[in-house]
Structure formats: structure tokens, C-alpha cells
Structure 1
């Protein structure tokens, strides 16, 4: 039921008011003595003090129903947008003290010895819906317009945050401290990649859509050690598994290959797609294989040992594609496009399993999908939804919908534009929430388990 996007309810057939005291007495009679919950008592006492209890009762149920349907966009032929949802949540919160968050599974986890908990939490985390209070915690509220984030693969809790105004921050989740580093960018650096080698754990490459590429070693200071100008517009940067090469892509159909040690451009692979290459990602185990995706709806696997004129594997999605990434064991790639289209592709059989997400019929809602939980689960965000979806990889079934109710936040957010999985914690995520015009952005952390 929580996946409904449209709902219409008939008007009430009641013709007379219900006596709230009689209703309360009937409820007490039906239950054993002393078994009426405190929240029920408070609810009925609130009804007792209401001039029109039937109207109050119906109104509260309708507004609560809207809260419990996070994907609902049309109710009784009226559109439910972010503003309406916030007003409804605030009104219910002010009028009725009913806890709306249900977390019995988390309580089970917290009271179970660690040795008895399997790695695959999604096998028993069948549903989690947060409404009044959620697992979302805002990070670094003092910074303006955060846009891109990337976890360090070697140091737990360390990540880079880049902003639309070109500023870059190092953030430590464990100590909740941030450090601004010197940035030569005057616009958002979209491409960020940490080194995966422990000996180079503080090394990072950052590229921007103005064609500028910087190499940092934070163990030596906040200044970039090298800056390369006059490149194509960069939206994606990625290092291979042995940190010998890195690739960049952007608002072109080309992919650029660089030598990491010399930082020299080695080769330009042209016309890999018919539209701009949105993302290029290396394999996790093979230093020669990388995957790309584009707005031409195609995802492809390429081999650097060839001239990349023909892809090793090519797969056509149902919509234009926004992201692609390898699984940890490189047996699958995950592609994400528009309107909640996310698919995990088995590279051996070249067959895909679509995540069972509700379609919004909105081609302007862009999704991002990433593997988590050791590749057994997939986390999905949508630029027009305030909900993180967690689905099982092997059958696509959605097991968690985590909704961010931002009535307590300073800004009004409409969706999630960026999400990253914590490499050291299976169900921890950092994400950037946005409004439709991208004038308001906020950095949040979500800890489900």
C-alpha cells in the first residue's frame, strides 16, 4: 500500500456525530482492564475536547494516511507536493501526539547479540518507514550549496564534499569536524575519486565542468599538487583498481585516459556513445575494464587492451541512463536512469533484473543507484523524491523505503540529487537533498542499522 502514487476516497456516509465518550467506553470494554495504550488515551481525550469529533476524526485519518504514503502525488484529484506534505505533517504533529515511526526491526537488531546477526540485513529488514522522526541527520549545515560527495575507501568516516560555488571540504563523520581545502575551482567539481591503495589513502583527484583537473595529497597540505587546465568539461573521474590509470568523462562522447604517476593524457577514446558520457567507472578487480553510460540509453563495458572501437558488452536500458557502476565482484553492473528505472545486469548471461520501484511517469526525475550490503542490496535515490529505496539485488524486490520528513529543517527540499554508500558500514549513506531549482541544497547522513 505504501507504494501508491494516486488515491481517491469516497465521502463519508455518516449522517450524525459519534459520541466520543461512548466510543471511548466501547474501546475500553473491548480491551482487558489496563490495556489501553497511552497514545490511545491521549487521542480519545483530544476527541473529547473537539467540537466536531467526527470531522476531526476523519480529517486526522486522512492527513495521517497522506503521511504514510510517501510516494503519493495525487489525492482525490488534488496534487500532493512537498509543501502540502510538510503542512500536513506539521498539522498532525501539532494536533495529535501519535508516534508515527515504526522501528520494531531496529529494536530487534539492537537487542540481538552481534554473532547472531547475518550480514544480509535485508533478509529480515522487510520494511522501514520513517515519518515524524527519521534516520536522516543534517551534516555541516553551515556550508552553502553542497553538491557532490565521495567517501574515502581506506579511512573510515572520511569524505570530500564539493559545493556549487567551487568550495571543497574534508569532513570526518566520527568527529563531526570539517576542514576547508584550497580550491582553484569557481564552479562545482563534479568528478571526485580517492585512491584505493592504502599507501596513497590521502590522495585524491578532483575535476570540474570547466575542464580543470586537480591532484591532491592531503597528507602534504591543503593545496593541490598539480592542476591541469583546458580539458573537456568533466563530470566523472575514476581510478582503476591498481591506481595506475584514471579516466574522465563529461559533456562529450569521449573518454580520456590518463597515467596516474605522470598525470599525462595518454589517449582519447572518441565516440563511445551517441550522446554525452555521463559516467565512466573502472572495474573493482580488473585494471583494464571500465563501464560507461549515456543519455543514448546504452551502457557498455570497454577493454583498454583494445582500441575501444567495439564494446565488450553493450546493454540498452529503458530510459536515458544517468549512472553505472560495477558490483564488488565485477559479475554485475548497475544502471540507473529516469523515472525510478534501475536495473542490475548479470554480465555472464547479459540479462537484467529491474528494481521494483513505483514509476512516477516523470522523465525529468533522475535516479542514482549503487550497490550496498556487499552487493546484495541496491540503494536508489530520485531527484524528485525525498525517499531512499533499498531493494534486493537478486530479485529486485524493494525492502526498505526511508522517507525524509524535513519539516524541522530550515529549507524545503524536494528530492535527493546525490547519494553515496559508506564503504565501511553496509546501511550508512550520505546524501545531498535539493529543491527543484537547485537553489537550496543540504548534506545529510542516513544510518538505517
Structure 2
């Protein structure tokens, strides 16, 4: 007589007996439920809830895992809740033991097992997992690096991983079959690095960084609803914005908005239901200053009527779908279109839409269009279907507001190919016919190959190389010390030199290529924060330094000792008359005169050779003058910018009683500077209002489309880079530097600054383009925390860095955000 084959339940009990362990009732219950499903001809699945397990329960369960592989159990689901205390290694060994039967894994932070989701992301990233669905909610990882094998995974949910800010470039290459990805309420913000990482996902059809919901819970057309998305009519926003192919009840919506219990967490990600209950293939076929912003609270509830009105008036910050509604369509026409498309009349009941749990990336201007244009296989974005008309409009928007590659290159080329063309002296006309003729006026210039090489290198990675300028080699008599830079300037003729002034009144000349101090001047109580620095052009060893207490000095670094070990006697310096509350100094093109401005309406003119103040021009503005700049070529022309919202151009030959012209912004002006050829003036006002003026008469040439933050303290500074080809702009309430084409205003890249550790983003205090190296710059940045210290971060857009180091040193300065260039 044949012996009966023991059930999984019996095998588990036997294993517990051998180990002298009491069987876990929840495990027994799981086996029983699987048997019931099998008898009812349902999907025979085993669910394991880690909250009910202790470390001692894992070994006997592992004993039966090999049998489960060959049993009639079709799938194993594992999840944990807030009360899980299981050791991370035990949990991972259990997940891996189920192998190909592992279907869904739900993991979230556990207050009782503190190492659980610190240990698991690291192990998962290194070794991978065989599951199909991974819901990972953790506050313990900031940069996603999934390097292990995830060959089976088709759905990844990282919602509410509130420390997640960015990805490594190749973090998704290990997931060749990933179809659905959700990252709601993460801190991901950079469009360029995000797209660079997501572009590795050739199968990705559904993506979300926020969740659009319809308050009445009606179903929406989507990738999995059976319709052809490409052919759907242009009806504005869909009738509802619920999840893919399902209708949220009031209870389910509340669950999503207020996750908490074990049961609630299991319902967070609607992709779960799709992937579990529908084959993956069918889904593919159906688819054709010191504070941080709380992004989750900035959206407001609105109804359909409000939406149409706001879209037509360009309300783009809160709804990035303004192109969905044509400017000439009336509300009645839209209602008729909606009624015909969806078979229901909605005129009597205003439909309300609420975007929930938006990540910061959703607040970027033209976010939706950028995503659609950059991911050609995407079918659903933020629960909204991507139609043919959406792609057409996205392409137009992308070409209007973004630059795919520098210098308007349309296609990526290899550096080797460009060098080969240069060596064989291929005719420029032939090259331009392949690359589409440049829109720049200097497209036929001698710089063609240089710009082509730059375009190739910048286009090779969205992750530029960033590193903090580490200063060493200065013997201060008290061992090594840490400087607190507050202002800096590149040398105009010596490519390796930079000078920076500190919050403590020191002036430091440094070789920024090797980090060695060349000259050091202590404050000795004579200076406070150094806010004004300017090199002489004809005398490259000399510079002017001004501090906020009004002190003004000229230093000759050739006559300064290289190190300071004793008392500083003031050798190699000239002292000028003080200028009270100084914020800015600048020298004219002949090195004869310099100007000083500050917290007043006046500007002082100094004679460098005589070492004295010549004149004070009074009441040049209605409010204090933040920055004064001489032109680069005319020794008598200078510009001023003031918080009275005016930028003015002056001529010393006219004894500046009245300006040559005045140009006004809508906010107070923080910065103004001339382009290297003096063709333009670049004016930066509070909260990202950046404009380029024609220097000859002050007419507006270009207004850069940078999204404001609605903060009156968001002081913006902008400078030129690569001559006058590009501008770089940063603000003191934001951790990003924007690179824009100075000819078209199109955005080329955003450079995000991140500190070391969770929640330590950095803000931009000041910045300068490197005058000798294309697509290189330095940024004066500080951490977004009290008592943070400034540091200089060097950026090279031509070199990629897969894992830029965090910029961290304990720093104790108090930021002063408003004044100085």
C-alpha cells in the first residue's frame, strides 16, 4: 500500500518537533488558507506576515521551502507591518528560499526592528530578489542603487520612502522587465538624473510621482482599461484620475491617504491588484532658506470648472496639464466632448480632482511634458493616460523649453567620432547637415569642434562630477583649520588661482586645482565677513577685498608671505577709506578705478593708484544698492542693481547724475553683471526672476522661465558660463543650480546639491562659471540646517560621477542670505 504524502502543514509541524519548537499558529493558518483556495479552484497562494514571526520560527519554515518549490502552491506573498521585530537576515533568507514562487514582497519601516529596513535595502541592492512585485517603504535610504538581479520584478513601489532623493545612473539596469514604478511622496526632484535612470527601463509603461484622484471615485481611462490610449480624443483631463483599471471606494481612498495599519499598507499600491490578478502580458497588450518645503501640502482640491479656467490662464505650478485645453474652446464644447467620449453627462455635477502625495519633481515646470517626451514607451503617467496628442504636445513643449544637448545638437555623438572628423578635416557644411544647422549666430565659428566635443561629453551622463574644494597646505601656527568661505572669485588670467574671503574676515588665495593655499591674510580684527572681492586685470598679483564693516584693502600677493606663523604686519596691502555696510566692489577694465556699494543708496568711486576715494554718488536708487559692476571693456560704464526693482546703467563721463537707462523687474534685484563681450546685462531678481537685457539700451532680450518658490527671501544670483553661451542660476532657498542657454533660454541641466545624511540638502549662496574651462563652475553652498558652514563645490559637467560624494563637514556659521554677489 502506498504511503500518503505528508502535507506542507504536517512537514512544518514535524520540523518544529525536531527542533523542539512550538509551531507558529499564523504559519499553520497560512497553510490552511492555501489549501482552502486550492479546493475552491482559486489561485493557491501562501501569505506570510512577518509581524507574527520571531527569529526562532524561521528555521522550521525554511525546512519546507524546498518542498513548496515543487508543491501545488502557485505563489508566496510576504509582508511586514509596523510591529515586525524579525531580524533582517532571517527575513531575507526566508524571501530567497521561496525562489521562483515568490510573488509579492511588502516591506515597510518597523519601529521595533530598527535594523530591518536599514539592512534590507543594502542586501537587496547587492544580491537582488526573485519576486515579481516589490513594495518597499523605508526612510533609511537616500540614493537608490539596485545592483543585484531582479529579473522577475515587473512592479516596484517606493511610495512614502521620504528620504529617497535620487538614483545611481545604472540602478534600474538590473530590472529588465519592470513595467510599473511608483515613487509618490519621495524627495526625488531632478528631472535630468531621473530620466537618465528611467531610460534604462525599456519595458516601463506606467510611472507615477503623484496620485491624481477623483473625489467621486469614478473610473478613468487608463493603460489597463482596454481602450486604445493613442486614439482617445482631446477632452482635457480625464473624467477621473483613479488608479489603473479600478475604482477606489471612499474607504480605499482614505486608506491610501492615511496609511498606517498592516491591512492598510497592503492596499497602498494598486499595481498590486493588477499584477496579481492579471497576467503581465495582458497588461502590456492593453497598454498602447533654512527650512525645507513640505511638498505634500501645496496642492489644493479643485473642480472641473476651476480647472478649465485655471488652465486657460496658465496656472502651471499646480496643474502641469495646461496644454490639454486649447485656448479657443469653450466650456460647453468641452462638456459636450466629455459627454460623448465617456457616455455620461457631467455638466450638472462638478467633478473634483486632487493630486495627492506629490514628489518635488512634480513641481517642476513642464514636468509632465518632459517625462512624456523623454520616455517614448510610457503609457500612463501619474494615473493619467498618455495619448498621441499628449506626445505631440510634449514634443513641442520640450523643444521650446529644454535643450536636449548643448549648442542645440539634436543627436548624441561619440567623442571618438568627433575627433576623427576633426582630424580628417571634414567640411563643416557636411557636419552641419548631419547635426541640423545650429541656431546660434556663431554656429559657423572656429569653436564648432570644441562645442561638439562639449555636447558629446555633457550628453554622456546626467550626473556631473561634483566635489568639495578641500584646502590644505597652510601653516597657521595652530595646526590645520577649517575655513568658512563667504565670497570667491576666479583669477581672470591665471587658470589655477581662486581667491575666497571668509566669514571671519580672512582672505585666502588658493590653487583650486590641487587645493593648496598660495597666500593667506588673517583678519586680525580688522575685517568682518568678506563680501567684496575683485582681481586687477593688468596686475594679476593684486586684488581688492572689502568686508561688511566697510574695510577696503588692496593686496599684492607677491609681497605677502606664503604662510603666517607670526604677527601679520600688513605688508603688501593698501588701505582705502571705509565704505559703510559694504556688499560689493568692482574694478574697471583699465585697473584705474573701482566702485563700492552696500546697504545704502550711494556708490563710492576710488582711485587705485592714489589709494583714495574720489567721489560718492548719492541717491542713485530708491533703496539700497546690492551690486555694482563695471563693464568688461569700457572703463567708464557701470551698472547697478537695487532692491527698488531697478537696474540702471551709468557713464562716469556724464558725471552720473542720471542713468543712461533704467530697466525694472517685478521684484527686488539681487545681481547684475555684463556678458564677457558687454553685449548683454544679466539681471537676477528675488525668487528666480532672471532676465537678459541688451546692454546698449536696456531692452529686454530674454526672460528665463524659472519657476518661483513664492518666497520673498529666495535671493537669486546668475552668472555667465562658456563666455556668453550659457547662464547658471541658483537661489538661497533652493538646492539646485540651473544651466540655461543664453540665446534661447532653454534649460540644459539642473545640478542638485545634496549633503551627507538624510535631510541635509544644501542651498546656493553664490556661484561662478570657470572662465577657462567650458561647462565648469564653482558653487558657494551651505547645508540647510542651523549653524551650517559654507563650502565651495566644484562642478564639472563634462565629467560624470556615478556616486558624487556628499559634502559634509561639521560647520557652525550662521548663513547670511541676502547680500553680496
Task: Find the partner of 2:128 among 21, 46, 58.
Answer: 46
- The aligned counterpart of 1:422 is 770
Question: Deviation at 1:74?
Answer: 4.7
Deviations 1:312-331 (A, max 9, x none): 02100121111100111212
Q: Does the 8 Å contact 2:694/2:701 carry over to 1?
A: yes
How far has the Cα of 1:383 moved from its partner? Answer: 0.8
Give the 3 Å change call, closer, same or farther, for CA 188–55 of structure 1 in structure 2. closer
| Alignment-derived partner of residue 583 in structure 2 | 235
Quick one: which of 656, 659, 665 aligns to 1:317? 665
Whichever structure has more strand as a proportion of its residues is 1
Identify the residue that residue 187 of structure 1 maps to in structure 2. Answer: 528
8 Å CA contact 1:269–1:308 kept in 2: the answer is: yes
User: Does structure 1 residue 117 correspond to structure 2 residue 449?
Assistant: yes
Per-residue Cα deviation, 1:78-116 (whole angstroms, up to 9, x for no partner): 7979xxxxxxxxxxxxxxxxxxxxxx9799665455547
Alignment partners' CA distance in 1, 2:642 and 2:738: 23
Describe how 1:64-143 pairs up with structure 2 within 5 A: 65=183, 66=186, 68-70=188-190, 73-77=293-297, 111=416, 113=418, 115=422, 117-119=449-451, 125=458, 129-130=462-463, 134-140=464-470, 143=482
For the residue of structure 1 that corresponds to 2:723, the secondary structure is helix
How many Å separate the matches in 2 of 1:295 and 1:405?
Answer: 30
Deviations 1:326-359 (A, max 9, x none): 1112121001121111111123461241112122
Judged with a 3 Å threshold, the aligned counterparts in structure 2 of structure 1 residues 381 and 110 are, in CA distance, closer, same or farther, namely: farther
| 1:285 maps to which of 633, 652, 670 | 633
Match of 2:729 among 380, 392, 402: 380
Deviation at 1:22, TM superposition (A): 6.5
**Among 673, 693, 710, which residue is 1:345 paired with?**
693
Which residue in the other structure is 1:392 paired with? Answer: 741
Contact 1:47–1:53 (CA under 8 A) maintained in structure 2: no
What CA deviation, in whole Å up to 9, does each residue of 1:280-337 have, x standing for no partner? Answer: 0001111010000000010010000112111102100121111100111212100112
**Which structure's relative contact order is higher, taking Cα pairs within 8 Å and 6+ residues apart?**
1
Query: Do 1:288 and 1:305's aligned partners in 2 also have CA atoms closer than 8 Å?
Result: yes
Report the TM-score, using the length of structure 1 for normalisation. Answer: 0.77
Aligned pair in 2 of structure 1 residues 264, 236: CA closer, same or farther (>3 Å)?
same
Name the CA shift for 1:169/1:109 in 2 (closer, same or farther; >3 Å).
farther
Distance in 1 between residues matched to 2:499 and 2:602, nearest whole Å: 26
Quick one: distance in 1 between partners of 2:649 and 2:453?
31
Write the deviation string for residues 109-137 of structure 1: whole angstroms up to 9, x where unpaired: 6545554734377867579643xxx5220
Query: Paired residue for 1:443, among 792, 795, 801?
Result: 792
Match of 2:620 in 1: 272
How far did 1:426 drift?
Answer: 2.2
Is the contact between residue 24 and residue 44 of structure 1 (CA under 8 Å) also seen in structure 2?
A: no
The aligned residue for residue 401 of structure 1 is 750
Q: Secondary structure at the match of 2:733?
A: coil
Residue in 2 that maps onto 1:173: 512
- Please say if 1:58 is aligned against 2:390: no
Larger radius of gyration between Structure 1 and Structure 2 = 2
* Higher share of residues assigned helix: 2
- 1:368, distance to aligned residue in structure 2 (A): 0.6
The counterpart of 2:709, out of the listed 351, 356, 360, is 360
Q: Distance in 1 between matches of 2:624 and 2:576?
A: 22
- Report the Cα offset of residue 224 of structure 1: 4.2
- Residue equivalent to 2:498: 159
> Who is 1:95 aligned against?
none
C-alpha distance in 2, partners of 1:366/1:23? 56
Distance 2:487 2:516 in 1: 18
Structure 2 counterpart SS, 1:311 = coil
Work out whether residues 582 and 597 of structure 2, in 8 Å CA contact, stay in contact via their aligned partners in 1. yes
8 Å CA contact retained: 1:194, 1:203: yes
CA gap of 1:320–1:448, structure 2 versus 1, over 3 A, is same
The alpha carbon displacement at 1:427 in A equals 1.6
Q: Which residue of 2 aligns with 1:226?
A: 574
Structure-to-structure mapping, 1:253-264, within 5 angstroms: 253-264=601-612
Q: Secondary structure at the match of 1:258?
A: strand
> Which residue is equivalent to 2:270?
none
Identify the range of structure 1 (176-185 vs 142-151) with the bigger mean alpha-carbon deviation: 176-185
SS of residue in 2 equivalent to 1:153? coil
Secondary structure (helix, strand or coil) at the match of 2:500 reads strand
Return the TM-score normalized by structure 2.
0.44
Summarize the Cα distance change of 1:215–1:294 in structure 2 as closer, same or farther, 3 Å threshold. Answer: same
Q: What's the CA shift string for 1:232-271, capped at 9, x where partnerless? A: 2221111111111111111111111111111211111111
How far 1:54 moved relative to its partner?
3.6
Q: 1:157 to 1:297 in 2, by over 3 A?
A: same
The answer to whether the Cα contact below 8 Å between 1:293 and 1:300 also exists between their aligned partners in 2 is yes
Partner secondary structure for residue 219 of structure 1: helix
SS for the counterpart of 1:117 is helix
Give the whole-Å Cα distance in 1 for the aligned partners of 2:694 and 2:101.
57
Is the 2:768–2:779 Cα contact (8 Å) retained in structure 1? yes
Q: Please give the secondary structure, in 2, of the residue aligned with 1:305.
A: helix
Aligned length: 390
Gaps of 5+ in 2: 1-44, 48-74, 78-98, 104-123, 138-155, 167-182, 192-208, 210-292, 298-356, 361-403, 407-411, 423-447, 472-480, 562-570, 799-821
| Residue of structure 1 in register with 2:550 after alignment | 211
Contact 1:152 1:158 in 2 (8 A): yes
Gap change, CA 1:105 and 1:225, over 3 Å in 2 = same
Change in Cα spacing, 1:105 to 1:283, as seen in structure 2 (3 Å) is closer
The structural deviation recorded for 1:434 is: 1.6
Aligned equivalent of 1:149: 488
Contact map agreement 2:489 2:533 (CA 8 A) in 1: yes
Cα distance between partner residues in 1 of 2:712 and 2:672 = 18
Question: Take 2:452 and 2:707, find their aligned partners in 1: how far apart are those partners?
Answer: 24
